[in-house]
Chain A
């Protein structure tokens, strides 16, 4: 880890239910764009953001098949941000609350995302320049 700032994010919302999720990912992207290392603690429904079995689908109402619909998946956004961070020599760490994962059965996560608990959030926050919490509503 170099002398760039670390920003920690704690997020609670699940995929596909709130515009806060989009805003959250845009903030992560912006943080990387500004040269900050990013650390994420995913809590409650947010642990499903990294679920590896998310699948795209076609949409008859849209008149598009699976390929054409190219449905957004949050796991792909995480992978894209990991790639962006790597290209800028920045850290991009992601820890899911393990108990929240177990409750939801979303144990299979994309590479680069780990399992942990509240002590990890405290460690992330203690080492960061600042922490942004986004609670569900």
Chain B
């Protein structure tokens, strides 16, 4: 069974969990033998152009030491055999299309989304 993970929400739980919860879930299921793909849509296309670790949260004397490294997590997914796609028009809608996209991420147009969906047995929209 092949599953396409569609991530539409960005920066959800990233401070507290120190990652994106669905990217983490994907990596965890990969270790369990999962056959997975990831499609970044909507605000989640921000992940495709990240180059730096998230800033550490500081509250009083408490300082976060291991903030999220989403670009590293995406690279890890690709290295693990999970293709990661981002939607061009969603980048354009947010003025992000001229930024350098992570080399690991493949850009697709909205017209190509149906063919991605057809490659999967199940589509999980988060």
Residues of A within 8 A of B113 (CB): none
Which of B3, B8, B22, B126 has most A Cβ within 10 Å? B126
Q: Give the size category of A's interface with B.
A: 10 to 19
Mostly helix, strand, loop or mixed at chain B's interface? mixed
- Does A43 sit within 8 A of B, measured CB to CB? yes
Distance A133 CA – B33 CA, assembled complex (angstroms)? 19
- Does A34 sit within 8 A of B, measured CB to CB? no
Q: Does the CB pair B29–A133 fall under 8 Å?
A: no
Residues of B within 8 A of A36 (CB): none
Closest to A8 in B: B122
Distance A17 CA – B10 CA, assembled complex (angstroms)? 20
Contact of B29 among A12, A118, A136 (CB under 8 A): A118
**How many residues on B have C-beta within 8 angstroms of the other chain's C-beta atoms?**
20
Q: Does the CB pair B13–A44 fall under 8 Å?
A: yes
Q: Does the CB pair A122–B33 fall under 8 Å?
A: yes
- Does B32 sit within 8 A of A, measured CB to CB? yes
- Does B124 sit within 8 A of A, measured CB to CB? yes
Q: Does the CB pair A135–B25 fall under 8 Å?
A: no
Residues of B within 8 A of A118 (CB): 25, 28-29, 31-32
Q: Does the CB pair A137–B9 fall under 8 Å?
A: yes
How many whole Å from B1's CB to the nearest CB in chain A?
6
Q: Does the CB pair A136–B12 fall under 8 Å?
A: yes
Closest to A136 in B: B12
Distance A103 CA – B21 CA, assembled complex (angstroms)? 13
Residues of A within 8 A of B1 (CB): 125-126
- Does A28 sit within 8 A of B, measured CB to CB? no
Distance A123 CA – B28 CA, assembled complex (angstroms)? 12
Q: Does the CB pair A131–B124 fall under 8 Å?
A: yes
Q: Does the CB pair A117–B122 fall under 8 Å?
A: no
Q: Does the CB pair B25–A43 fall under 8 Å?
A: yes
Residues of A within 8 A of B21 (CB): 12, 43-44
A contacts, CB < 8 Å to B:
10, 12, 43-44, 103, 117-119, 121-123, 125-126, 130-131, 133, 135-137
Q: Which 6 A-B pairs have the closest CB atoms?
A: A119-B32, A118-B28, A135-B126, A133-B124, A122-B29, A118-B29
